[in-house]
Structures are given as C-alpha cells and as structure tokens.
C-alpha cells in the first residue's frame, strides 16, 4: 500500500518536485509533425519574450498563467500544443546593466573596453545571469516547449534579422536620413516614439526680448527652453497675427550671440500661446525642424550626444543643457533681455528606459517606411484574419495604424543586431549586403566601414512568429513553418500592442506572403498573418486597485506569494479574476482562499484514500484503468447522488469548455471551484458516507459507489489540472497508487480533458437532488431557528405532491445524515405554526418542543411578508399590463404567472404563521 497523504496540503513539498519532473521528462516538447498538420488540431502560441535582464513580475505571471491554462487545456484535448519560450536581448536594458556593472567595478568603461570587448562582456553576463527569468518560469511549471527555446541574438535568428533588413532595404522600404529623433542623452542613443513617455512637470515660460537689427524696435518671444536659443535660426509669428505684421521680413539680433535671424510667418506660431512669437531651433525641436524645412532654414546642432552645449568659442561650450539654461537666463537678465519668467506646466518627454529627459536631436538614422506595411496590417485585421479579444482593441489598433509614422529602427548601441550596411570611405556610398563586402559597389573602393548602429530590439522580436520556426529569409517553407505558422493565439498585455503586436502583424504580413503554403500554393494575407487571434489581458494591480510601482513600494513579487501560498493558489487567484478587459486587483486574502480550496481538494483525496483502504481491507476492489473514465452507462441500482454528481460533472465540463473558448478564465475557474467544493465536497462526499458500509458480504451499492467516487474525483482532477497543475498532478498519481493501478500516463497533463459527453447526464436525478437539497437546507434553517442542539435528531413532517413526497420518503437516509432528521412523516395538510416553513415545492415542519424566540420569529416573518409583497406587486403590475401580456413571449408570461401564484401561496402561509404567533 502507498504512503498516506500528509494531513494538510503543503505546496512547498510537492511543487518543486513536479516542476523539475516536467522539465526533465521533456513532457511538453513537441516534435515537428511528420505528415501534414491539421490546423484544427494544432495549438501554437509564442510566449511574449521577457527581457533577458528581467525578473518575473505579476504581469508575467498573469500572462503565463493564462497561456498555460490554454496550452494545458488544448494539450489535454489532444491538440498538438506548442508554446514557444524565449528571451529578448533587450538592447538598452542589457547594455545598461553591464555598463553599471563596469561602473561598480570601477576599473574600466565601455568606451575604454571598445566595442568588441564590451559585447564579449555582455555575452558573458548573459551566460551567467540570462536564464534567471526562464528558471523562474520552470519553477512555476509553465508547460512550454523548452526544446524550442530561443534567444533573439542567437546565430540563426540573427541571420534572419540581417536578411529581413537587406530585403526591406532592397525593396526601398528602408532609408537613412537626418531627422529629429528622440535622443536619450544618458545611454546616448535614439529611441522610438513609443519608448518616450510624457510627464507633466512644473517649469517656466521665459519671455525674452529680441531686438530688430535695424534698431527700429524689438519683439518678445516666449520659450520654455532658453538654452536652445544658441541654435536659433529664426523667429516665427502667425501670418494672421496683426501685432507682428510689421516685423515680417525683418531681421533680429540674437541676444548673447549677435547673429542676425529673420522673422518668418508660419501657421505653427500660436497667437494665443505666450507672446505669439516663437524662436525656431530646427536641430532641437521637431516642430521647429518642420518650420525650418518649410522656410529653407539651416539646422545648426548646438549639443553633443550627452546633451552638453557644443559650440566652440562660446562661453557656454561644454555646459550641461540645464546648467547652460541657468547661465543663459542670468546673462539675458544682466543684458536686459529677460522680460519676465512665468510659471508654466510643461509636458516633458522622458525616456522609458532610463528616465532621462529626452533631447530632440537632429541626427542620422535609419528608418522603415511603414505605410506599405501598415496597409496590409490594417487589411488583415479589417478583413477578420486576426481577431482581437476584447474586441475594442481592434479599434485602438486601427487608430494607431492609420496615424502611424515611419519607424526609426537604428540605435546607437553596441548590444544588438548590427546593421548590415557598409559606408565607403572613398565615395561615401552605402553598401547594404548579406555578406561582408570587400569593395564598394559604386566606386569599387575597398575602404568599407560597417555601420556602427544596431537595430531596435523590437525589429527582431517583430519577426519572431516565423523566425522561431526556421525562417531564414529564403522563402523556403520549413517543416516547422508548414506545421505551426500562423500561430493560433497571442496572449499579451496592452502595453506592447504597438511595440510588438502591431509590428509582428506588419512584418508577418510582409514577409510571409512570399512563403508558399504547405500544399505549394501561393499564400494569401489570411495565412500570412502571424496569429489568428490576440487576447489582450489587463493589468495586475494591488489589492487597492493601485498600479504597482517601485516608487510606491507596492510591488508584489510573484515568487514571494507563490512561496507563501503555492503556485496553484496564485494561478487560481489570477485566473478567477481574469475577465477580459478588467484589471485584476490582486489580494493575498483571495489567494489565501484559494489555498484553502487546494487544501479542501487535498483532504477530499485523503478521504478517498481512506475509503479505498477500507474497501481493500474488506475485499472491495476498485480499478482505474484508462484515464478516460467514461461512465455513460450507469447500472440500474446506481443511487441518486451518484447519478446526480455524474450529471453535474458533465454539465460543468461543458461550462468550463465554453468559458475557456471565450477566454473567460474567471467563469471557468469559478465553475470548477463551485463544482469541486460546493457540490462534490459539500454534498457528494457527505452522501457517499451513507453507502460506504464495507460489509463482509459484498454490497453492490457500496462497490458501485466506491468506483463512482474514485472515477468522479479522477475526472474532476483532470478538469482542474490546467488551472492547478501541481496539486492535481500529485493527487492524481496518489490516487492511482491508492487504487493499486499503474497510472496510465506519465502526467495528468498528458491525459484527456474530461468532456461533457463522457458522463451520464440524467436530468431527472438533478431535479430530484435539487429538491432534496432544498428540503435539507430548509430543515437545517428551521432547526437553527428552533434552537435544536446540533447533535439532536428531530422528526419532520412533509407536505408535498406525490413525487416529492415519495422522494423525501425514499431518501430519508440522506435527510438523516445531512439534516439530522430522525423520521419523515408525510402529511396531507400543510403544517403550520412556528416550526413550519413553506417553499414553492413543499411545506415542512420540524417537530421540536421548544418555545421559539417570538420576537425574532415575528421579525423574520414580517421581513418575508414584505419581500413577498414586493414581489407580488411587481408581478401583478406586469400581469395587469395588457401590453406585457400581449407582447411578451409566452414562456415569460407563464413563468411570471406561476411565480406569482407561488409567491401568493407563500405569502398566505407566512401571514398565517404570523397570525398564529403568540402575543408578546
């Protein structure tokens, strides 16, 4: 005999064991299908790759819990289920991490090391620490295919990135040019629009007087950034602004500098803002840059890559931009040019990665011409080739796509995919090439220097849906692509909808159109998409609905909570609240509740183990052969409660299935919870105690019940398994061990997901059980009211129709067990008085000689009466309404009539009971 389960559920003692087992046994690795894959039986999804520098946070855990539930569910349904994990090289984050490490060591800097040695260092860092986050995933039991794990800088993926760049360039979709970009002066690279956040801060609006060159007067401009005046090339006023008409075409003398600059008319100048006159600094402001273009103005750059003033000979040369501002304002004041300083709230662009204030900077960058790609991406969603859940993200996506800007894909970093372009030292031509070129294609010169920029990290992650399946740019259909592309689903957060989701759609639609279908035919847009569906989940907040943030200090570490309550409980908490579009307020109290749920199941398993043991000793054998315990044919003598539990199991299976198909993790989790605790444990386990008398002479009912008990529990474990993989794995193996059968699979995760059709669904027994449950609950309530001591059994009287009377009579053993009923007397008149209670289905009285609390009873009855009155009035109001009777569907009218009649009867009975109450 197997060893007994410990008395209380202790997740720490089982989880690591199974997590390790799943990985070591390679249970979730999927080989490429040999023949043609059936798309309807294939479930493929890509894990949104966490940063290699990352640690798991609650958002990851929610994301992965949802993905894991879906993957485990599909796998158990027999689908080829591939969940591909990997990590992102995270250009900026990783480079920063290593630079910080260098700084801490204090011996060298990135610049001193040089590019090659530095990237070596980063690789070393990656080898040492890069698996931290995937190790956390392993611990949490994510059922990913580790054999397919990738890193975005892997040789194979890098080749694909290079190829896609070259092709986009050859297609004329990549260009290089000097534009204003968002410059992060801390890490000293351009970042994309998406990587910039705006923050409101208190600042000042400086009014500065610029004198006319002809000495005929002056004009006052307003600016929030006086230090950029060193790069001013004009002052703009609105052409409609009459205050400045006379100034147009004249020149101003730039204070402190002495340079002459023109006054130009431009619509951008807002007469309402400041003084209506704005300085124009094309190299340091995107709007000014546009003005400069319109008026053919030069764009002198006055800052270096650290955002320090770079103006040889200037007294401000070398100063940090904010220091320069102070000095310039002081000097302006001294020179009498500072008119006033007003308080002003300004919106500052801040780098998402470093927190540094972005410096708009004119610089040479690589761009991806996005419109042609966006057009296809818009079409793919409009035509329904990709479905969003919740649906409103379709609109968000569409809006963004329609207003999309060209994508700045170059980064001035050392860690990343280096752009495959070589500059010719002789003629300046750009050579974009798959292989390192030896001479310039234009002039034949050999002085080729590779571009130093790398590609935006999102460029490579945007290719993942096909690069992970072996796409190398050759348009060859690899076996993995044939079997697994497009993937079925992408589960992710809305924060990377534009960063990643939209880019995968654009790049997928672009490149995959050229890869043929498995049958050799031309691929259409419908099959070029990277995924069929996108499920966008919400944010995990703290228990008070506050966004988690390091500064607020309310960040919940999933690993800590998991250590405290178990992975299953945390997963269940997240799942039970994961309703599409709703943020999750994560509260430990709730997790505690789901640990209690796990404990409940644990103890149910112990109960079963004890019964199986008792059975064994008495010679009752149970067997659990196949894991798909199909119990469609119930023997005739099967007791009511067993018929009922099978029917309920069947219905719940259908409910869970439907909910999961709709991404209603909350509904699915709650259905399993309710079934396991509220029906299986609360009712079925109590009722089977009646049957499990292991007499020496074999009792058919006992044998049958024991078999059913084990079979229902085993199926329920499978139903719960996608949600709580650890405890179900443990108990499932323990159950087979108790029974003495070898388990039919290495893991419960490889068994069949229970289906509604697997179990007999006897509707009549459900109805009968419902009535009995109602009777039991009513009697329990009455007993409490009458003050019957818990342990004392009492007789009851029941008045009901023949069917219900017979039911109560035949199941008096249930009533005895669950409601302490000593005997059931069927009576012809409805019992009245203090110890009676009326329901729509029956009247019941508990026979007990004790004075009740008249005051409390009166209060209760009056409350009931009020409730019945209210209901009755509502019903009558409708029934007396001709329009309602005429127009409402018949079943609604009939239902209401029936209900009204029942309510009237209950009301009369309550009134009678009230009248019968003795005066106080």
Partner RNA sequence: GGGCGGUUAGCUCAGUUGGUUAGAGCGCCUGCCUUACAAGCAGGAUGUCGGGGGUUCGAGUCCCUCACUGCCCA
Min dist CB 119 to RNA, Å, is 31
Q: Which residues pair with 412 in a beta bridge?
A: none
Q: Is 388 in the site for RNA (CB under 7 A)?
A: no
Asked if 698 is part of the footprint of RNA (rule: CB under 7 A), the reply reads no
CA 919/CA 858 separation, integer angstroms: 10
Per-residue exposure over 847-858, b if at least 16 CB sit within 10 Å of its own CB, e if not: ebeeebeeeebb
Report the residue number, 513 or 596, with the smaller CB distance to RNA.
Answer: 596
Burial class (CB in 10 A: 0-12, 13-18, 19+), 200: exposed
Among 704, 899, 911, 917, binds RNA (CB under 7 A): 899
| Strand 196-212 to 338-351 pairing | antiparallel
Q: Does 890 bind RNA (CB under 7 A)?
A: no
Query: Of the listed pieces 297-305, 416-424, 784-792, 797-805, which binds RNA according to CB under 7 A?
Result: 784-792
Among 13, 270, 549, 582, binds RNA (CB under 7 A): 582
The candidate with the shortest Cα–Cα distance to 630, out of 701, 707, 688, is 707
Q: Which of 344, 400, 564, 737 binds RNA (CB under 7 A)?
A: 400
Q: CA–CA separation, 254 vs 293, rounded Å?
A: 20
Smallest separation (angstroms) from RNA to the CB of 115: 32
Residues 129 to 188 in contact with RNA, rule: CB under 7 A: none
CA angle 496, 497, 498 (to 5 degrees): 90
Report, in this order, helix, strand and coil percent for the chain, each rounded to 5.
Answer: 50, 20, 35
- The CA radius of gyration of the chain, in Å to the nearest whole number, is 37
DSSP 547: B
Nearer to RNA, 81 or 599 (CB): 599
Number of residues that bind RNA (CB under 7 A): 86
CB-based contacts of 624, cutoff 8 Å, min separation 6: 710, 711, 714, 735, 736, 739, 741
**359-368/174-184 β-pairing:** antiparallel
Asked whether the beta carbons of 314 and 161 are under 8 A apart, the reply is no
Binder to RNA among 872, 912, 914, 917 (CB under 7 A)?
872
In the three-class reduction of DSSP (H, G, I as helix; E, B as strand; rest coil), residue 837 is classed as strand
What is the per-residue binding string for RNA in 788-827, x denoting contact by CB under 7 A? --xx------------------------------------
Q: Which stretch binds RNA (CB under 7 A): 136-144, 179-187, 326-334, 676-684?
A: 676-684
Of 383 and 898, the one with the shorter C-beta distance to RNA is 898
Round to whole Å and give the CA distance between 38 and 320: 62
Nearer to RNA (CB atom), residue 559 or residue 610: 610
User: In 411-557, which ranges are continuous DSSP H helix?
Assistant: 457-461, 464-467, 479-484, 503-512, 525-528
- H/E element, 739: helix 725-739
- Of the listed pieces 244-252, 288-296, 707-715, 898-906, which binds RNA according to CB under 7 A? 898-906
- For residue 552, state whether it binds RNA (rule: CB under 7 A): no
Residue 874, interface with RNA (CB under 7 A)? yes
CB of 611 to RNA, least distance (A): 9
Q: Cα-flanking dihedrals φ and ψ of residue 510, to 5°?
A: -70, -55
Alpha carbons 900 and 76: distance in angstroms, whole number: 47
Report angle CA 825, 830, 834 to the nearest 5 degrees: 90
Instruction: Match 């070589």 to its residue by tokens.
Output: 422
Decide whether 513 or 737 has the Cβ nearer to RNA: 737
For residue 543, how many other CB atoms are within 10 A of its CB? 13
> Which of 305, 884, 914, 917 touches RNA (CB under 7 A)?
884
Site for RNA in 432-471 (CB under 7 A): none
Residue 903 binds RNA, judged by CB under 7 A: yes
Residue selected from 186, 301, 670, 805 as contacting RNA according to rule CB under 7 A: 670
Q: Is position 850 an interface residue for RNA (rule: CB under 7 A)?
A: no
Helices 58-76 and 558-565 cross at an angle (nearest 10°) of 60
Q: Under a CB-based contact definition with an 8 Å cutoff, are residues 468 and 148 in contact?
A: yes
Rule CB under 7 A: is residue 881 a binding residue for RNA? yes
- Interaction between residue 581 and RNA (CB under 7 A): yes
Task: Quickly count helices (H) and strands (E) in the chain.
Answer: 30, 29
Look at the block and give the residue holding tokens 């730039």: 254
Span interacting with RNA, options 26-34, 144-152, 500-508, 601-609, rule CB under 7 A: 601-609
Q: How far is the CB of 904 from RNA (least distance, A)?
A: 8
Interface with RNA by CB under 7 A: which range of 594-602, 626-634, 733-741, 797-805? 594-602
By CB under 7 A, residue 694 contacts RNA: no
In the list 147, 171, 198, 524, the residue contacting RNA (rule: CB under 7 A) is 198
Name the minimum Å distance from CB 583 to RNA.
Answer: 5
Of 356-364, 528-536, 680-688, 823-831, which part binds RNA (CB under 7 A)?
Answer: 680-688
Q: By CB under 7 A, is residue 583 in contact with RNA? A: yes
- Cα–Cα nearest to 643, from 762, 517, 541, 470: 762
Q: Does 577 bind RNA (CB under 7 A)?
A: yes
User: 854 near 920, Cβ under 8 Å?
Assistant: yes
- In whole angstroms, the minimum distance from the beta carbon of 749 to RNA comes to 23
Closer CB to RNA, 121 or 353, in the complex: 353
Name the minimum Å distance from CB 870 to RNA.
6
Interface residue with RNA, options 606, 627, 752, 799 (CB under 7 A): 606
Cβ 181 to RNA, closest distance in Å? 13
| In contact, 309 and 302? CB cutoff 8 Å | yes
CB of 639 vs RNA, minimal distance in Å: 17
- Residue 470 near residue 480 (C-beta atoms within 8 A): yes
475 contacts RNA (rule: CB under 7 A): no
Stretch that binds RNA, among 212-220, 500-508, 619-627, 889-897 (CB under 7 A): 889-897
Among 403, 551, 637, 802, binds RNA (CB under 7 A): 403
Q: Is 552 helix (H, G, I), strand (E, B) or coil?
A: coil
Site stretch for RNA (CB under 7 A), options 620-628, 674-682, 752-760, 850-858: 674-682
Helix segments in 140-269, DSSP class H:
155-170
Contact region for RNA (CB under 7 A) — 55-63, 376-384, 399-407, 632-640? 399-407
Distance CA 16, CA 14 (A): 6
Q: Which two tokens stand for residue 828?
A: 């012809």
- As given in the structure block, the two tokens for residue 535 are 């499920």
Distance CA 681, CA 604 (A): 7
- Classify the phi-psi angles of 685: left when phi > 0, otherwise alpha if psi is within -120 to 50, otherwise beta: alpha
Report, in Å, the least distance between residue 125 CB and RNA: 30
492-531: contacts with RNA (CB under 7 A): 494, 498
User: Which one, 429 or 865, has the nearer CB to RNA?
Assistant: 865
> Contacting RNA (CB under 7 A), which of 8, 696, 919, 920?
8
Q: Which of 78, 217, 625, 781 is close enough to bind RNA by CB under 7 A? A: 781
Tell the smallest beta-carbon distance from residue 919 to RNA (Å).
Answer: 24
Annotated binding residue 621? no
347 counts as binding RNA under rule CB under 7 A: yes
Spatial contact of 687 and 773, defined as CB atoms under 8 Å apart: no
Pairing state of beta strands 487-493 and 531-537? parallel
Q: DSSP strand E in 494-650: where?
A: 531-537, 540-541, 584-585
Does 41 bind RNA (CB under 7 A)? Our answer is no
Q: Is 125 in the site for RNA (CB under 7 A)?
A: no
Q: Does 678 bind RNA (CB under 7 A)?
A: yes
The window from 257-265, 464-472, 503-511, 878-886 that contacts RNA (CB under 7 A) reads: 878-886
Enumerate the known binding-site residues. 550
Enumerate the known binding-site residues for ATP. 550
């Amino acid at each position: 005999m197997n060893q007994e389960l410990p008395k209380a559920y202790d997740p720490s003692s089982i989880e690591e064991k199974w997590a390790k087992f799943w990985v070591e046994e390679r249970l979730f690795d999927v080989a490429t299908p040999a023949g043609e894959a059936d798309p309807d039986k294939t479930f493929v999804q890509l894990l949104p790759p966490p940063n290699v520098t990352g640690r798991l946070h609650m958002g990851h855990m929610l994301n992965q819990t949802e993905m894991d539930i879906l993957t485990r569910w599909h796998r158990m349904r027999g689908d080829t289920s591939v969940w591909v994990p990997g990590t992102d090289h995270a250009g900026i984050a990783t480079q920063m991490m290593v630079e910080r490490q260098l700084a801490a060591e204090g011996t060298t800097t990135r610049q001193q090391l040089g590019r090659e040695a530095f990237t070596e260092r980063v690789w070393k860092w990656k080898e040492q620490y890069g698996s931290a986050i995937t190790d956390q995933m392993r611990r949490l039991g994510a059922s990913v295919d580790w054999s397919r794990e990738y890193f975005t800088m892997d040789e194979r993926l890098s080749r694909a990135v290079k190829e896609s760049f070259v092709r986009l360039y050859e297609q004329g979709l990549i260009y290089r040019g000097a534009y204003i970009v968002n410059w992060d002066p801390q890490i000293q690279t351009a970042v994309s629009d998406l990587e910039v956040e705006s923050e409101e801060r208190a600042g000042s609006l400086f009014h500065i007087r610029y004198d006319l060159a002809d000495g005929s007067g002056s004009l006052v401009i307003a600016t929030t950034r006086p230090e950029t005046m060193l790069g001013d090339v004009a002052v703009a006023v609105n052409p409609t602004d009459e205050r400045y008409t006379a100034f147009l075409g004249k020149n101003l003398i730039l204070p402190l500098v002495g340079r002459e600059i023109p006054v130009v008319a431009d619509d951008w100048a807002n007469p309402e803002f400041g003084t209506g006159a704005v300085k124009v600094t094309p190299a340091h402001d995107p709007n000014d840059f546009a003005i400069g273009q319109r008026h053919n103005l030069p764009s002198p750059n006055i800052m270096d890559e650290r955002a320090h003033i770079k103006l040889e000979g200037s007294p401000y040369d070398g100063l940090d931009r904010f220091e320069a501002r102070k000095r310039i304002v002081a000097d302006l004041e001294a020179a009498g040019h500072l008119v006033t300083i007003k308080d002003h709230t300004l919106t500052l662009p801040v780098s998402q990665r470093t927190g540094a204030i972005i410096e708009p900077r004119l610089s040479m960058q690589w761009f991806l011409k996005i419109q042609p790609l966006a057009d296809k991406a818009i079409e793919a969603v409009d035509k329904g080739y990709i479905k969003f859940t919740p649906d409103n993200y379709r609109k968000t996506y569409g809006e963004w796509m329609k207003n999309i800007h060209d994508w700045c894909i170059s980064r001035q970093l050392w860690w990343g995919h280096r752009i495959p372009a070589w500059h010719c030292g002789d003629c300046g031509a750009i050579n974009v090439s798959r292989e390192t070129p030896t001479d310039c294609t234009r002039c034949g010169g050999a002085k080729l220097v590779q571009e130093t920029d790398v590609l935006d990290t999102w460029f490579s992650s945007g290719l993942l849906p096909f690069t992970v399946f072996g796409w190398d740019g050759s348009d060859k259909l690899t076996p993995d692509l044939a079997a697994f592309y497009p993937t079925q689903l992408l589960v992710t957060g809305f924060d990377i909808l534009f960063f990643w989701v939209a880019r995968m759609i654009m790049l997928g639609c672009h490149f995959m159109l050229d890869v043929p279908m498995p049958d050799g035919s031309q691929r259409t847009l419908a099959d070029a998409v990277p995924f069929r569906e996108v499920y966008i989940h919400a944010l995990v907040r703290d228990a008070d609905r506050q966004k988690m943030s390091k500064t607020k200090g309310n960040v919940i570490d999933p690993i800590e909570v998991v250590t405290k309550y178990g992975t299953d409980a945390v997963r269940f908490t997240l799942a039970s609240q994961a309703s599409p579009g709703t943020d999750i307020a994560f509260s430990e109290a709730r997790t505690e509740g789901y640990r209690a749920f796990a404990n409940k199941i644990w103890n149910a398993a112990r109960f079963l183990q004890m019964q199986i043991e008792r059975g064994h000793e008495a010679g009752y054998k149970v067997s659990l052969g196949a894991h798909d315990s199909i119990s469609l044919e119930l023997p005739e003598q099967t007791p009511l409660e067993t018929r009922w539990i099978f029917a309920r199991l069947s219905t719940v299976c259908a409910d869970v299935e439907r909910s999961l198909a709709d991404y209603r993790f909350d509904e699915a989790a709650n259905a399993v919870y309710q079934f396991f605790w509220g029906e299986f444990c609360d009712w079925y386990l109590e009722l089977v105690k009646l049957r499990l008398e292991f007499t020496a002479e074999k009792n058919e009912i006992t044998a049958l019940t024991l078999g059913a008990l084990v079979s229902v529990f085993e199926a329920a474990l499978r139903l719960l398994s996608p949600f709580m993989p650890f405890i179900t794995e443990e108990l499932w193996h323990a159950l087979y061990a108790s029974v003495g059968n070898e388990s039919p699979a290495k893991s419960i995760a490889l068994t069949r997901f229970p289906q509604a059709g697997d179990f007999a669904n006897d509707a009549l027994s459900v109805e009968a059980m419902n009535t009995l449950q109602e009777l039991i609950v009513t009697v329990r309530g009455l007993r409490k009211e009458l003050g019957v001591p818990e342990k004392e059994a009492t007789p009851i009287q029941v008045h009901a129709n023949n069917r219900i009377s017979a039911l109560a009579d035949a199941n008096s053993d249930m009533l005895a067990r669950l409601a302490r009923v000593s005997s059931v007397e069927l009576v012809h008149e409805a019992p009245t008085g203090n110890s009676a209670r009326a329901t729509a289905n029956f009247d019941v009285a508990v026979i007990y000689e004790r004075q009740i609390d008249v005051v409390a009873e009166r209060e209760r009855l009056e409350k009931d009466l009020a409730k019945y009155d209210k209901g009755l009035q509502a019903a009558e109001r409708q029934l007396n309404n001709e329009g309602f009777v005429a127009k409402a569907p018949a079943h609604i009218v009939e239902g209401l009539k029936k209900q009204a009649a029942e309510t009237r009867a209950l009301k009369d009975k309550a009134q009678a009971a009230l009248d019968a109450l003795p005066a106080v």
